[in-house]
Structures are given as structure tokens and as C-alpha cells.
Amino acid sequence: MKQIIVENTNENPIVIAVTGASGAIYAHRTLELILQSGASVHLVITNTARHIIEVELPAEKADLLLNSSDVIRHDINSYSETIASGSYMTSGMIIIPASMGTIGRIANGTSDNLIIRTADVHLKEKRKLIVVPRETPLNRIHLENLMKLHDAGALILPATPSFYSNAGSIDDLIDTVVARVLNHIGIKHNLDVRYHGRN
């Protein structure tokens, strides 16, 4: 099995938020590789996401998200956390997966929990905000909210696997999405998911 190598190029911590959409495996793999790179991670998980993590992931993978002591954990209902302040420097925020409810609240400035407030901070401070929606089909409300986030400075990176790497497993397909997230948040990696053109 090929050894996966990841390297952190960030000076400041990375915020990862996990919300109540299907696709907990994306959150697990992203957190796993960012921690492997040595980056410091602030983690916020919604109550619905906790349920989905337990349903969708085997115990050992769920444990990384729900119980790992290698991250700085935050209460979803607390507004006194460091990451809720624009004066606290981060290298960016990843919302993975991003539910349409979360996207709608960010897009419309409804800071009713720590994830929404932290995303709002990243937008106003012009820091990286990577939103990974996992929904289909999309209605007009979804599309308009995504456009609002795009126009406000967020990067919309749908959880859409690519197939040109001839992925041999579901894990390989997951990596085609996670690799793009790592690219944009500043984590170097050797995941073999890039398009190399025709031979």
C-alpha cells in the first residue's frame, strides 16, 4: 500500500466544521490527513452531524471525529470561543459536509450557532472559507444561497468525486474530493488523484 504523505504549509490553525448532511466519511478523511500533516485543528460538530457520524461510519472512524484528543473541540452553542472572533487568526475554515440549512444561515447572516458565526468571521475577515455541500438535486433556494456565499468570498467545492484517476474503491473516490480540499487549504499531499492527460 502506498504511503500517504501530507505536509502542512499553514502558519495558523485550521477550523473544521461538520454539519448534518450525509457524507461523514469526507469529514473523517479530511481531519485524518490534516492532523497527519501536523496542523492544529479546531473542530465543531453539530448535534445532527454527531448522529450521522454514528450511523455512517464504523466505530474507529467515528471515534476520530467524536473523541480524538488531537483537536481543539468547541461547543456548537458557545459564542465565547476563540474562533468566533475576527482577532483570532486562522488559515481558513472547512465546512465538510455542509448541509443546506447551514449554507442558508451563513448566506443570510443568521449567526445562531458557533459554526455560522465562525463562517461569518471568515467571510468578513477575507479568510478562506471552503464549503463542501453534499446534496442533490438542488432547488432554486439552494442555488441562490450558494451564489450568495460565492459572491461573499467562499469557495464552493461540491462533494463530487472524479473518475479519471481510475479509483479502485470508495476510499479512493473520497480522496478525489478530499485532495481538492487539501489543495485549497494549503496542505501538500501525494494523493494520486490528479489528471495526467491522455497517455
Sign for the CA dihedral angle at 30, 36, 37, 42 comes to: positive
In a domain, 197, yes or no: no
How far is the C-alpha of 38 from the C-alpha of 6, rounded, in Å?
9
Give the total number of structural domains in the chain: 1
**Is residue 142 in a domain?**
yes
Residue 111, in any domain of the structure? yes
Residue 134 to residue 8: CA distance in whole angstroms: 26
What pLDDT, on the 0 to 100 scale, is given for residue 163?
86
Task: Give the residue among 29, 153, 143 at the shortest CA–CA distance from 93.
Answer: 153
In CATH, what number is assigned to the domain containing residue 165? 3.40.50.1950
Domain residue limits at 180: 6-189
Asked, for residue 24, whether it belongs to a domain, the answer is: yes
pLDDT digits (tens, 9 = 90+) for 151-167: 999 999 999 998 887 77
- pLDDT in the model for residue 2: 74
Looking at the domain assignment, is residue 1 inside a domain? no
Residues 6+ apart with CB under 8 A from 117: 79, 84, 111
The better pLDDT of the pair 53, 169 is held by: 53
Can you give the pLDDT at residue 191? 87
Is residue 198 included in any domain, yes or no?
Answer: no
Q: Is the pLDDT of residue 193 over 90?
A: no
Q: Evaluate whether residue 195 is within a structural domain.
A: no
In the predicted structure, residue 112 carries a pLDDT above the cut 70: yes
Residue 19 placed within a domain: yes
Least confident of 50-54, 59-63, 94-98, 158-162: 158-162
